[in-house]
Each structure stands twice: as C-alpha cells, then as structure tokens.
Amino acid sequence: MSWPPLFPLPIDPATAILLIPAIGVLLLVGLPSYKLGSRFNVLFAFATFLSSLYLLVERPPLGRYLFVDDLNIVFIVLGGFVAVTTSVFSASYIGHELETGRLTPTNQRFYHAMYQALIFSMNLALLANNIGLMWVAIELATMTTVLMVGMYRTHAALEAAWKYFILGSVGIALALFGTILVYMAAQPVLGEGYDSMVWTTLVAKAHELSPDLLNVAFVFLMLGYGTKVGLAPLHAWLPDAHAEGPTPISAVLSGLLLNVALYAVLRFKMLLSANPNAIAPGPLMVVLGLVSLIFAAFMLYRRRDIKRMFAYSSIEHMGIITFAFGMGGPLANFAGLLHMTMHSLTKSAIFFAVGHIAQVKGTQRLAEIRGLTESHPALGWGLVIGVVAIAGMPPLGIFMSEFLVVSSTFARQPLLAVPLVFGLMVGFGALMLRLTQVAFGEPSGGMAPVEASYVPLYSHLALVVGAGIYLPGPLVAWFQNVARLLG
C-alpha cells in the first residue's frame, strides 16, 4: 500500500525518525531548565511521530541497513504515538517530582536526554535491516531504560535497576549467540560478509539455510529476546523495573519496549517459517505465552503495590500476544497485532493514571488507596475505564482482540483454548477485585487536586473505546495484510 508523495521532503522519513531523537539527545543533555527541557522533549517526540506518519505515505527505498515494510510501520507508528503522549504526561510528572525534591535538576536533564535516546534506539531496532544492528539497538534500549529505572537512587530503585541489568544482559547475550548462529547458517548460502546478516536477503533465501542451525538459533533467540518481552519464567526483572522507576518509564516499558523485543522474535519466527525443514516456531511461543499468562494471572492476586500489579498484568498480556502469534495463521496473527496495539494504548493510559494517583496519595500501596472516584473523579473514572478495558470487558478494544484469540484457538486447537480462557478468567477476577477496592468506597489519603492535563490519559482511552466499537476499514485491511505476511 503506498500513495504518491504529497510533497518532497529534504530527507527521507526513515532517516528523520532516527535523526530527530538523536539531535534531541544532544540538545536536551545540555538544557538546564526543566520547563524548556520538558517542552523540547514533547516537541522532539512529536516531530518523530509526524515523520513516522509520513512513512505511511512515502517509503524510502530498501537499504542495506534500514528498511521499511508493512510490519515494522505498525510498530513504529504505535511507538511514536505512545512516546508523544508519554512525553506530555512526563512533563507534569517530572515537574511534580522536582517540586517534592525526589529528583534534582541534573536528574531531569539526564532523564530527558535518555528519553530521546530510548526513542532513537527503539526506532533503530525496528528499522534495522541487519540482525546485528538490531541486536545493538536493543542493547542500547536496555541500557537507557536501566539508567532511568535506577534514577531515584533509593535502595529499592538501585536493586531493581541491577536486577534488570543483569537479567537483561543475560537475555541480550543469549540473543547474540542466536544471531551468530543465524549468520553461520546463512554464510554457506549467502557468502561471507554483510549479505548474510541482512533481513531481506535472509528471508528470500530462508529455504536454503541449514535447518539444524536455525533450530538451535531460534531457541537462543526466543529465550534471549523473550527475556526482554517479559515472558515467564524469564520475567523476574519486569515487576521491579516497573515499580521502582519513574512512572513515565513504566508506561514506555510496557507500551513500547516489550513490543520492540516481541518484534525481534516475530522477525525470526518469519525466518523459520520460511524454511520448510526447520522446526515450527509456533509451539515454543504458545507454551511460553500460556505459562506467562497463567502465572501472571495468579500473581495478580498477591500484589500490594499498584505499579507492580499492573506490571504483572503486562506479563499476562505479553503472554496472550505471544500465544496468538505462536498459533499463527491469518486470524490469530490479526488478533495478536490488534491485542498488541490495544494493550500498548491501554496499559500506558493506566500508568498515566497510576502516576498521578501515586503523586496525590503519596503512596503506591494498594491498601492505602481508597475511593478514588469520590476524591478525584476524573482520575478515578479514568482508571476504572482503563482497568475495565485491560481486564477484557466488552465492548472495549481488548475484549475484541481477546475474543478473536480465543475463537481462533477454539476453531483450530480446542484443547489449548481451555488453559487460555482459564488464565483470562483468573486475571479478570484479580483486576476487578482490586479495582473495586481502589476506586470505590470511603476515600483515603491525600485529597489535593491533580495539577496535570488529562489529555494523554483520555486520548488513549478514547482510542481504546473507539476501537472496541468501530475499527476503520483501512486499518483492518492493513492488519490483515501484515497478518498474512507473518504466516
């Protein structure tokens, strides 16, 4: 799908979405003022998002290092949008943290620069046409988020950053071993050098590659990048990183970074599917997805910290998405893509609400947050809509995608649908139980009004509610096309 260019651009949009955040890093690291810093942060994120929209209109030619196809555009545009709204949310969030003295002005300079560095590395990972470059970009994204998770310098934050760092590095190391094995498989066919690491040539020649090496490689890649997706049993870093870092980072982690890691897994899955003699990558993904779903659903009951609870909910949903892509086929892939989009929007909206809640109430403990809809109606009802959506109630967007996952599973593997539905039900119960405690009843804790814009929160919620009622035709056609591509 492509339209004729509207007007010529001085540089092609793929370069722009890398260049803009890169300039942002250099500029923001030197800006001492918080007001200017946060505004420029929003501005750069917005400019990146606009350039990514331009990718829909005009695609740069296939390069040796960068390429754009129907699959990665979905991730880039979604990521660009969440990055903009999160930067708006983070402007008010960080302002509050500076007032209360939890962050120093030096911290905020560093924070904004890292935010742009994260956008840069995620876009690089998504655009990379080279498996080595993609690996380097994902490593860079891990580094920037580690630094932001540890930013409060409290004991708990440093512990969380350390744990994230160690587990993330092990994951990244395993992924590199898998990448080397893919190169080894490609080298006899494609020759030495760059061609053997380029996506487009790898996929074109996938049927000639050694299936044994690809099998071993996929196990390493699945475990390595799966660690970054947060799949159980490799998820241990995820709840800590979400709970102890600044809340905008929790929103970006759940809404963007997990998707980028999943994108890497999907690419390698496509490579294996194109080789008739290699193992089917689906069953491994189905098993990891189901384990994550059921494990996280039960863990939701025991949480005492509100951010940690929604972090487990992210594990649950990444499990569902991995499961859907593992099932494969046009319908399940479509459901997986839709679920990924809806989850990104909903979960980041929930973290926006949670960030404001934690600031006005002065606590993240679930037991100390009560009656939000009475004390802060706009915030409380925002959280209610978000949690109802994430739990999968009709008619919101996530209900639709979960329904598609379940029905496509019933049609093909009815037995697998049983644990899937069981996990969904368990998770649903836990979220509803906590929601009634937090949102209704006698208000407790701080009553100060929220001095922040609700635009990011409600724009996400509006999209999720809207998608549940009506999905625009072109979007459906696009997703169906990508779903076919994924095989």
Find the shortest distance in angstroms from Cβ 270 to other proteins: 21
Minimum CB separation of residue 303 from other proteins in Å reads: 8
Rounded to 10 deg, the angle between the 258-273 and 306-327 helix axes is 10
- Least distance (Å) from other proteins to the CB of residue 348? 21
User: Helix or strand or coil: residue 204?
Assistant: helix
Q: Which is nearer to other proteins, 254 or 375 (CB)?
A: 254
Contact set with other proteins (CB under 8 A): 130, 132-133, 135-136, 139-140, 143, 146, 150, 153, 155-156, 158-160, 162-163, 165-166, 169-170, 173-174, 176-177, 180-181, 183-184, 187-188, 191-194, 196-197, 210, 212-213, 215-216, 239-240, 243, 304-305, 308
Gap between the Cα atoms of 279 and 262, Å rounded: 19
Q: At what angle do helices 211-229 and 258-273 cross, to 10 degrees?
A: 170
From the number of C-beta atoms within 10 Å of its C-beta (0-12, 13-18, 19+), residue 446 rates as middle
List C-alpha distances in Å: 70 to 355, 472, 480, 486. Answer: 34, 17, 10, 10
Distance CA 471, CA 487 (A): 23
- What is the Cα–Cα distance from 385 to 448, expressed in whole angstroms? 22
Smallest separation, CB 236 to other proteins (Å): 10
Per the CB < 8 A criterion, the answer to whether 260 and 83 are in contact is no
Contact between residue 211 and residue 275 where contact means Cβ atoms under 8 Å apart: yes
The token pair at 213 is 């090496």
Smallest distance, other proteins to C-beta of residue 201, A: 13
Q: Residue 99: how many CB atoms within 10 A of its CB?
A: 12
What amino acid is encoded at 277 in this protein?
N
Nearest approach in angstroms of CB 162 to other proteins is 6
Between 57 and 170, whose beta carbon lies closer to other proteins? 170
Q: Which is nearer to other proteins, 110 or 422 (CB)?
A: 110
- Which is nearer to other proteins, 3 or 155 (by Cβ)? 155
Query: CA geometry: angle at 387 spanning 384 and 389, to 5°?
Result: 105
Residue located via tokens 């999943």: 262
Q: How near is the Cβ of 242 to other proteins at its closest, in Å?
A: 10
**Closest separation in Å from C-beta 101 to other proteins:** 20
Q: To the nearest whole angstrom, how small is the minimum distance from the Cβ of residue 170 to other proteins?
A: 7
3-state secondary structure of 130: strand
Cis ω for the linkage preceding 233 (within 30 of 0): yes
- Count the Cβ atoms, other than its own, within 10 Å of residue 283: 11
Q: Helical H runs in 150-208?
A: 155-190, 199-204
Nearer to other proteins by Cβ, of 156 and 469: the residue is 156
- Closest among 112, 146, 127 to 51, alpha carbons compared: 127
Q: Which is nearer to other proteins, 237 or 352 (CB)?
A: 237
Cα 358 to Cα 382: distance, rounded to the nearest angstrom: 14
In the bound complex, what is the minimum distance in angstroms from residue 289's beta carbon to other proteins? 24
